[in-house]
Structure 1
Amino acid sequence: MNITDVERDALYKVIHSRRDVRKDFIPKTIPDEVLERILKAGHHAPSVGFMQPWDFILVTEQQTKNALKKGYESASVESAQKFSDEKRAEYQSFKLEGILEAPLGICVTCDRERNGPVVIGRTIKPEMDLYSTVCAIQNIWLAARAENIGLGWVSIIHDDVLRETLDIPANIEIIAYLCLGYVSNFKDKPELETFGWLPRENISQLIHKEKWSKKA
């Protein structure tokens, strides 16, 4: 099945306009059929040995979100102490999550025991199942953007908070907590780039030819 030029251009548009959304969520429910398409996109990600190690926990109840928000706030205070005084003030001025504002949360997990102890492609690099799950998250992110739905990855929260709140078994790895919802607008650039926290790297400085020491 060939991809048309129009379809190709649409894919690149989605990739380049994807954003990590932390605010601007609006109180509009994601229709079931749209959510199904997004989750199926995640489920069709590549996975090592075709083990499909992911699960998706859907979070909509306010009580659950309140508990996760409390966990984020505690982790954010802890995180702020790791920055210099100058950077700490700037860090604390950023809004870095949308746990309460987003209509839907999705916790993505990885079952490293799925389909047995020996998996094709994981015999030398056992962490490949974790990378596979991240591929599923990227698919979800791009599918959400194609549906004009914002998504933000909340990484400033301890796994034990997610594990206790969402009743996740001890043998299951927690990979991500995602906030999804329709938004009032999508930013032209990533917020941290706009704020001057860091610039986008020049891709010409990131490409090597044959050896690390040789720039392309």
Structure 2
Amino acid sequence: MTIATFDAAFRDGLAALLHARRDVRHFRPDPVPEARLHALLNLANLAPSVGLSQPWRFVLVEDPARRAALRENFLRVNATALAGQGEERAGLYARLKLEGMDQAPCQFALFALPDPEQGHGLGRGTMPETTAYSAVMALHTIWLAARAEGLGLGWVSILEPEAARVALDVPAEWRFIGYFCLGYPEAWHDTPELQREGWEHRRPATLLHR
């Protein structure tokens, strides 16, 4: 079998993709073709996972009642988060667009199995949380692949996990990772929205030597 090699042009393109990835919250209504969604999931399945356990579980959310329950979950938790902001940042927080649940044509939740049979427990005896880390790796793979195809992805993390699990009627042992909005963005921007709004800025990488 021939092992793939990657030239400088590919490496430059990969760096450009990483720079161009955004947490998208403003979507056009155009539907995401089902074939494209399945292609993204197949790429996610190539992500690294502890012990080759592939513990990720994706749940496509199409039912209006379930979407409404998750939207109410967000509004409730977001109101609590707003109340917890200091006076100086409360106004800025209130102006932030933190989710795209009203616009995104495709929405899905990601869960991780805490103790999947697949993988036979390899690599997670002392660090069981690695199954959740593995699910996030699968999500990041989708995020980059979606951006390469002109699709935007937004992560809604301002949710109460157990209420989200109940709303989606999945097994009690599944661990909620996040809720995601997928679709065609209204626009692409050079800088992240939180940076444009003055919430935070990206800092240089640091390396600690020992």
Aligned partner of 1:134 in structure 2 is 136
Unaligned runs of 5+ in 1: 212-216
Equivalent residues, number? 207
Letter in 2 for 1:4: D
More strand by share: 1
Cα deviation, residue 7, structure 1 = 2.5
Query: In the alignment, residue 166 of structure 2 is paired with which amino acid?
Result: E
- Alignment match, 1:207: 207
Q: Name the CA distance, whole Å, in 2 between partners of 1:207 and 1:60.
A: 43
User: Where does 1:1-216 land on structure 2 (aligned, <5 Å)?
Assistant: 1-23=4-26, 25-115=27-117, 119-203=121-205, 206-209=206-209, 211=210
**C-alpha distance after superposition, 1:36-67 (max 9, x if no partner):** 12111211110000000011001123332222
Same amino acid, percent of matched pairs: 37
TM-score under structure 1 normalisation? 0.91
Task: Please give the alpha-carbon distance, in whole angstroms, between the structure 1 residues aligned to 2:125 and 2:157.
Answer: 29
Moved more, 100-109 or 116-125: 116-125
3-state DSSP class of the match of 1:208?
A: coil
Q: Is the 8 A contact 1:60 1:103 kept in 2?
A: no
Q: Secondary structure at the match of 1:168?
A: coil
SS in 2 for 1:156: coil
Segment of structure 1 superposing worse, 63-72 or 112-121: 112-121
Give, as a single letter, the amino acid of the residue that structure 1 aligns with 2:79.
Answer: V
Q: CA deviation at 1:187?
A: 1.3
Q: TM-score normalised to the size of structure 2? A: 0.93
Change (3 A) 1:170 1:113: same
Structure 1 CA distance for aligned equivalents of residues 186 and 92 of structure 2: 25
- In structure 2, runs of 5+ residues without a counterpart are none
Deviations 1:133-157 (A, max 9, x none): 1111111111111111111100001
Please provide the CA RMSD for this pair.
1.5
- Alignment correspondent of 1:214: none
The amino acid of 1:208's aligned partner reads L
Distance change in 2, residues 1:149/1:116 (3 Å): closer
More off after superposition, 113-122 vs 125-134: 113-122
Note the C-alpha offset of 1:19.
0.4
State the 1:116 CA deviation. Answer: 6.3
Q: Which runs of 4+ in 1 moved over 4 A?
A: none
